[in-house]
Amino acid sequence: MNIDIIGGGEIGGKSKGFFKAKDILCSDEFKKKYPNEAGLLRYPASFCIGTGVYKNFIERNKFNKLLESQKASVEDYSYEKFKKRLMQGTFSREFVDEITVLLARLPYPLAVRSSSVLEDRPGTSFAGKYDTVFVSNRGEIDDRLAQVLTAIKEVYASTYNPSAVEYRLKHYLVVKEEEMAILLQEAVGREFDGYFFPLMAGVGFSKNDYCWSKEIVKEEGLVRLVFGLGTRAVGRGYARLFSPKKPLIRPEGNSVREINKFSQATMDALNLEFNEIHSFHFSKVVRNGIDCYPRSERLFSLLDGAHLYNPVTNMWQEDHKPILTFDPVLMKSWCGLHLPTVIDIVFKVLEEKFGYPVDIEFAIRVDDDKNEAHFYLLQARPLSQREILAPKPIPPNILQDDKLFTAEKSVPTGMIEKIDFIVYVDSFAYDKWPINDRYQVARIIGRINHLLEGKRFILMGPGRWGSQKVELGIPTRYSEISNCSMLVEIARSTEDYVPEVSFGTHFFQDLIEDHIVYMPLYPDEPNVVFNEKFLKANNCFEDLITDKHYSLYKDLIYVVDIPKVTNGHYARAILNGEIEKAVVYLNR
């Protein structure tokens, strides 16, 4: 592996993973075995800025005490002060000159990616903890240089953001010295109407921890595919989920209503004028089958009343609604690329050569001259995996009054004994709660999460935990839910928000690494038990949160001390993914 390192030192986990994967997929062995697929694979121009630059930056600006002050801080206000100070730092003239020379060869937008010495290792991937910053790389050389240097400092600052610090604390890594390298990559995509983004992007996992159908096999992997930048694929937004061997079996089933509801509508793109990521509805760049981002018309199906179909031409019926299903490019080869097959082969080869399951990020760009779609590998790293557990049978003799809740949809396999507490956020109350106060709800949940550290507790709430949109769920940071044993996302039939299946997001990877069982709950579905009366009748919220200023939240947040209200008994959770049934009950 021959890699030029600007500034010397380590290149970090992300860079190591990318270059190792590139070497494997560019090998003569791979080309001989998979000649067609090898011809479709591409790799963005990539350059490493070593940890030597980071060390020099810290020492040059005398930031050692500043870093030490943030080593165990998870407070937002402290981080903002820290970041503001760090962004004032300067680089050495030697490094600035090297970057200036490099930029003269790079006329395209760039992705400035974190590549720390601790990240992307088996068991501690740091997925989503550190920043990736996209820059337009437009203008005079001084402007372009300023963009890149600012982006590097933003990545350096993210080493000490609250989520990263909390992650290191939780995984006992705070005593280890964290140093940040940079993977500077060509951004894959093309310009359109002032925006830059790829046709498709996504993340893939060679093992699938949550199989939504009996036909979906763990060993065949999982992909989250989006239109636009892949930032949308790793977040909590909607994406097209599929398993490469069976790409048309959806988690949401075949219901047209559900497909419409769970299809991507918001996309991310780099605004070249403002040099920042913008999120918007895809209709901004897809007006109809003709007036749209090149080739994107093949990503859509059209909705005609209750009927969903794949258009045979780009002459779309004006009153038929476009839905981002990706069906036309997943069903068969398109522009010479059958995406599921290529991903399946990449999974198989990288997993074999790495020696463990892998997590990849990718983008798709079409060469118009050749009418050929290319698969660009952007990242490859170890995939966090749950321990393989044999599904436990659901006990047949549980008393109905002892059942706290049950589930029969998107159920994983897991078991939790001796559950001390249940923390429940009332869906209906949250729906009526003042929008501006919902951020405070998240902070209170964070306090409860801290107070119950060391206890086994279930955290239940409406919609999506960690959503950036308060209308869709409680906007907690991961550090505010990190101590629970089980996380439940509740969808009531009367609500506008529902738990979007989180498989494959950075959020989901955090749950796996911390052995937190995740499950959506649909209380209004037939045969589902939801003993809300028990949860509301035994609230000890004010015993934990004693500040009277927060007393009104007791009508929203319910905390149940299970042994206290059941004469010393605990709750137990049994989740059987094979039969898609789960029960949480009082284990008397």
Contact 104/141 with Cβ under 8 angstroms? Answer: yes
Query: Worst-scoring range by mean pLDDT, 312-326, 434-448, 515-529?
Result: 515-529
More confident: 143 or 412:
143
Residues 367 and 507 in one domain: no
Residues 58 and 162 in one domain: yes
* Residue whose token pair is 């522009």: 335
Q: What is the pLDDT, as a whole number, of residue 503? A: 61
The last residue of a domain, from among 157, 187, 217: 187
Residues 514 and 560 in one domain: yes
> Where does the pLDDT of residue 385 fall: very low under 50, low under 70, confident under 90, or very high at 90 and above?
low
> Where does the pLDDT of residue 152 fall: very low under 50, low under 70, confident under 90, or very high at 90 and above?
very high
Mean pLDDT score, 206-225? 86
Phi-psi region of 564 (alpha: psi -120 to 50; beta: other; left: phi over 0): alpha
Residues 241 and 167 in one domain: no
CA–CA gap between residue 164 and residue 162 (Å, rounded): 6
Going 511 to 512 to 515 to 520, the CA torsion angle's sign is: positive
CA–CA gap between residue 374 and residue 44 (Å, rounded): 11
Q: What is the pLDDT, as a whole number, of residue 471? A: 84
Mean pLDDT score, 112-123? 83
Which of 222, 309, 318, 322 has the alpha carbon at shortest distance from 263? 322
User: Is the pLDDT score of 2 beyond 70?
Assistant: no
> Where does the pLDDT of residue 4 fall: very low under 50, low under 70, confident under 90, or very high at 90 and above?
confident
Asked whether residue 394 is assigned to any structural domain, the reply reads: no
- The residue type of 528 is V
Angle at 431 between CA 429 and CA 434, to 5 degrees: 90
User: Is the pLDDT score of 15 beyond 80?
Assistant: yes
pLDDT tens track for 301-360: 999 999 999 998 999 999 999 999 999 999 999 999 999 999 999 999 999 999 999 999
pLDDT tens track for 128-146: 789 999 999 999 999 999 9
Residues 60 and 105 in one domain: yes
Q: 141-158 and 93-103 are packed helices; what angle lies between their axes, rounded to 10 degrees?
A: 120
Residues 153 and 259 in one domain: no
Phi-psi region of 430 (alpha: psi -120 to 50; beta: other; left: phi over 0): alpha
Asked whether residue 572 is assigned to any structural domain, the reply reads: yes
Query: Worst-scoring range by mean pLDDT, 111-125, 154-168, 178-192?
Result: 111-125
The last residue of a domain, from among 316, 351, 385: 385
> Where does the pLDDT of residue 574 fall: very low under 50, low under 70, confident under 90, or very high at 90 and above?
very high
Q: What is the pLDDT, as a whole number, of residue 496? A: 56
CA–CA gap between residue 404 and residue 530 (Å, rounded): 6
More confident: 414 or 584:
584
Residues 238 and 354 in one domain: yes
Q: How far is CA 448 from the centre of its chain?
A: 24
Which of 496, 495, 476, 472 has the alpha carbon at shortest distance from 487? 476
Q: How far is CA 354 from the centre of its chain?
A: 22
> What pTM does this model have?
0.86
Asked whether residue 392 is assigned to any structural domain, the reply reads: no
DSSP per-residue codes, 53-85: HHHHHHHHTT-HHHHHHHTT---HHHHHHHHHH
Mean pLDDT score, 558-564? 96
Taking the chain, what is the end-to-end CA distance rounded to the nearest angstrom? 60
Mean pLDDT score, 137-157? 97
Residues 141 and 38 in one domain: yes
Q: What is the pLDDT, as a whole number, of residue 181? A: 96
Q: How many domains is the chain built from?
A: 3
Per cent of the chain over pLDDT 70 is: 94
Grouping H, G, I as helix, E, B as strand and the rest as coil, residue 516 is coil
Query: Worst-scoring range by mean pLDDT, 270-284, 384-398, 476-490, 528-542?
Result: 384-398
Residues 52 and 63 in one domain: yes
Asked whether residue 455 is assigned to any structural domain, the reply reads: yes
- The residue type of 227 is F
Asked whether residue 393 is assigned to any structural domain, the reply reads: no
Q: What is the pLDDT, as a whole number, of residue 123? A: 64
Half-sphere exposure of 547 (CA within 13 A, CB side): 6
Residues 258 and 371 in one domain: yes
More confident: 385 or 393:
393
Grouping H, G, I as helix, E, B as strand and the rest as coil, residue 129 is coil
pLDDT tens track for 348-369: 999 999 999 999 999 999 999 9
Q: Domain range for residue 380?
A: 189-385
User: Is the pLDDT score of 283 beyond 70?
Assistant: yes
**Residue 357 burial by Cβ neighbours in a 10 Å radius (0-12, 13-18, 19+):** buried
Q: What is the pLDDT, as a whole number, of residue 508? A: 74
More confident: 49 or 122:
49
Helix (H) / strand (E) containing 154? helix 141-158
Q: What is the pLDDT, as a whole number, of residue 506? A: 67
Q: What does DSSP say about strands 457-462 and 486-490: parallel, antiparallel, or unpaired?
A: parallel
Asked whether residue 365 is assigned to any structural domain, the reply reads: yes
User: Is the pLDDT score of 423 beyond 80?
Assistant: yes
Q: What is the pLDDT, as a whole number, of residue 389? A: 61
User: Is the pLDDT score of 513 beyond 80?
Assistant: no
Q: What is the pLDDT, as a whole number, of residue 338? A: 97
The last residue of a domain, from among 360, 385, 410: 385
More confident: 516 or 108:
108
Residues 182 and 284 in one domain: no
Residues 146 and 202 in one domain: no
Asked whether residue 503 is assigned to any structural domain, the reply reads: yes
Q: How many helices (H) and strands (E) does the chain have?
A: 19, 27
What's the whole-number average pLDDT of the chain?
A: 91
Helix (H) / strand (E) containing 98? helix 93-103
Q: What is the pLDDT, as a whole number, of residue 477? A: 84
Q: What does DSSP say about strands 300-304 and 276-281: parallel, antiparallel, or unpaired?
A: unpaired
Asked whether residue 106 is assigned to any structural domain, the reply reads: yes
Write the CATH number for 361.
3.30.470.20
User: Is the pLDDT score of 578 beyond 90?
Assistant: no
> Where does the pLDDT of residue 388 fall: very low under 50, low under 70, confident under 90, or very high at 90 and above?
low
Write the CATH number for 124.
3.30.1490.20
**Residue 161 burial by Cβ neighbours in a 10 Å radius (0-12, 13-18, 19+):** buried
Q: How far is CA 558 from the centre of its chain?
A: 28
Per cent of the chain over pLDDT 90 is: 71
